[in-house]
Structure formats: C-alpha cells, structure tokens
Amino acid sequence: MERFEPDARLTRNATLIANIGLCQLRLVDDSRWTWLTLIPQRPDISEIFELTPLDQTMLTFETNLVASSLKSVTQCTKINVAAIGNIVRQLHVHVVARNEGDANWPGPIWGYGEAVPYEEVVRKRLADTILKALST
Amino acid sequence: MERFEPDARLTRNATLIANIGLCQLRLVDDSRWTWLTLIPQRPDISEIFELTPLDQTMLTFETNLVASSLKSVTQCTKINVAAIGNIVRQLHVHVVARNEGDANWPGPIWGYGEAVPYEEVVRKRLADTILKALST
C-alpha cells in the first residue's frame, strides 16, 4: 500500500490547523473568505465514493464538525461545502464561510480572482480560534 | 412540525428521478453537463450539520450512491459534489459529471452562462438510465 502524501498544491499557502482523525484540516491563505480544506489521509483517492464506507462516515462527521465550528466562529450567512477536484485530483473537501457582499457573492469562490493573503498574525490567530472551536 | 415542501426553484426545470429514502433525486434540465440534485425531505434545514446524525449518514450514503452511479453512466472525468445554497437556502446537494473541455472546465458550473435544455426524449431516457444504474 502506498503511503499518503498530500499534494503540494493543497499544502502550499494553507496553514495546517490539525490532524482531526481521517483528515488534515487546513486554512487557505485567502482573506476574502474564511476557507478551510479537509484532506483525507488516504493515498490514491479522488472521489468520496472511493473511500471505504467507514471512511465516508468519518469524512461526513469531520466535515460537519468543521462546518458547524466555522459557522459559530464566523457567524457567516452560509457555509459552502464542496468536493470538486477538477484541477487537483487528490480528494479534498472545501468548507467555506460566505457572506452577502463578499468578493463573488452569491457565486462560487473557485477560480474567482486572486487570493488576498492574511497578515501573518491574523492568520495564526484565526487558525487558533478555529482549533479551539473544534474542541468545544 | 412543519411539512416538507421542496422550494419551487429546485423543482422547476428539474425532472424527478426518484425518492431514494431521505432525498428527492432530480435531473437538472441543462445538457451542458449531467447535473443531479439531492434534496433531503426535511423542513427548515439549510446546512448539512443541522440534520440529525442519522440523516447526515443517510445523506452521505445517498450522495455517494448517486455519485458512483453517475460516474458509471457518464464515464466522466470528475464528479463534483457541493452543498452551496447561497441563492436557494433549502438544503440541496449538487452531484455533477464534469469532463475536460465542457462549458466551464475546470471552473465551477454554478452561475456560469445559461442552461441548454435537453430534447425531451433525451432527458427522459437519461433520467431512466440513471434510475436503472441506481438499482444495480
């Protein structure tokens, strides 16, 4: 069995918040919206239905835990959850806090414009706040 | 408890394929890509994490069943799965077959251009093919 190695395009400009069981949880460095990614630590998987049934259930649990924490941290209008992967095929799930009037509201975030990086202190504090919200 | 009623914007131009337990499964009338929606038949829910844990697991099961059937019917390059809901807040999950070179590849489908309706005979045959794939 091959060893899991996250695709470099998913880790570059994305701060590791935690390993939460099945997935790595990362904060994407784009301050236009609070954008998290969950990367199941399984090699050679590009579709959710390729995971084992247990892993599928774990992914659902972790995704919903993260989504609900993100909602409580940001008090956003709507959470967007998506597994797209047209560009980076390694399975990853986006969990994004959206607000009326944000950069591409109500359109999707993927492929829209250029990322606006956080100031480092803001990024670290946000990652820390999300980690705390996950454990409460 | 309120009775479930699907939002008219989710049923208009979307053929009912089946009620598959928790969800209505519908085929969106846009021939640019094979685009299905799953609508959990629960009132007043807009985020997946608002469903009960059992319903969350059911939704995962039904989504992955549909995604895997759609992949086998279309032999597409990539399945896109998303719960967005920035416009229609009633919870619904998109399951879309994407191919290199399709209308907005590799960008997302939501909000892109105008739908291109199927010929009725093609739409009915496709709905029927998907229903058969779900039961095999």
Distances (CA, A) of B135 to A59, B18, B65, B128: 25, 11, 10, 11
Q: Which two tokens stand for residue B100?
A: 């290199």
Cα Dmax for chain B: 46
Backbone torsions φ then ψ of B23, nearest 5 degrees: -110, 150
Partner residue facing A84 (CB), from B57, B80, B85: B80
Residues on chain B touching A79 (C-beta within 8 angstroms): 47, 49, 83
pTM for this entry: 0.97
Query: How many Cα atoms are found within 13 Å in the side-chain-facing hemisphere of A94?
Result: 24
Element (H, E) at A19: strand A14-19
Encode pLDDT of A43-70 as tens digits: 999 999 999 999 999 999 999 999 999 9
Q: What is the pLDDT of residue A136?
A: 84
Partner residue facing B85 (CB), from A65, A71, A78: A78
Encode pLDDT of A103-118 as tens digits: 999 999 999 999 999 9
3-state secondary structure of A51: coil
Encode pLDDT of B19-73 as tens digits: 999 999 999 999 999 999 999 999 999 999 999 999 999 999 999 999 999 999 9
**Testing the interface with A: which of B33, B51, B60, B93 to mutate, by most A Cβ within 10 A?**
B60
Using a pLDDT cut of 90, give the percent of chain B over it. 98
Work out the mean pLDDT of chain A and round it to a whole number. Answer: 97
Q: B125 to chain A nearest CA, in Å? A: 25
Is the CB of B111 less than 8 angstroms away from the CB of A111? no
**Residue closest to B86 by CA, chosen among A83, A28, A81, A113:** A81
pLDDT over threshold 90, residue A119: yes
Partner residue facing B110 (CB), from A67, A77, A108: A108
Is the CB of A56 less than 8 angstroms away from the CB of B60? yes
Amino acid A107 reads G
**Residue closest to A37 by CA, chosen among A117, A130, A129, A99:** A130
Is the CB of A80 less than 8 angstroms away from the CB of B78? no
**Testing the interface with B: which of A59, A61, A64, A87 to mutate, by most B Cβ within 10 A?**
A64
Angstrom distance (rounded) from CA A30 to CA A91: 20
In chain B, what are the domains?
8-134 (3.30.428.10)
Q: A106 to chain B nearest CA, in Å? A: 5
pLDDT over threshold 80, residue B135: yes
Q: What is the pLDDT of residue A1?
A: 63
